[in-house]
Structure 1
Amino acid sequence: MGGAPASKHMLGTAFDIATSNHDPVAFAEATRAVGFLGFGTYPRSGFMHIELGPARSW
């Protein structure tokens, strides 16, 4: 599947989700409530990155 060797995806602590037909703010709140602290949004591609670990966003 590929990916950067140190990617949190490769470690199993991150995932990307398509946000079309979903409220990204509500989704981020729900994932934050269960322990995810890293969030990245990619509006042009319609994806949100969610990860465990230190709080950060982009």
Structure 2
Amino acid sequence: MTADEGSPGPRVEAAGRRSIAAEWIGVAATGDVVVPVEALYAPERVSAAPGTSNLPPAVLCLGR
């Protein structure tokens, strides 16, 4: 981070292949991430967040 003259706060920037820049990063992966299929959940097994609901399965996807 660098301070920009004339700006109220720090300037966050990154350059280069797979670069990341932010004021705060919780988790970052800049390389190839290989996740075993067992680590993923099928969408129908994931509960909707409070106040929302899961959509019923679509019979046919027509794009947008």
Q: TM-score, normalised to structure 1's length?
A: 0.19
The one of the two structures with greater contact order (alpha-carbon pairs below 8 A, sep at least 6) is: 1
Between Structure 1 and Structure 2, whose CA radius of gyration is higher?
2
Task: Please identify which structure carries the higher helix content.
Answer: 1
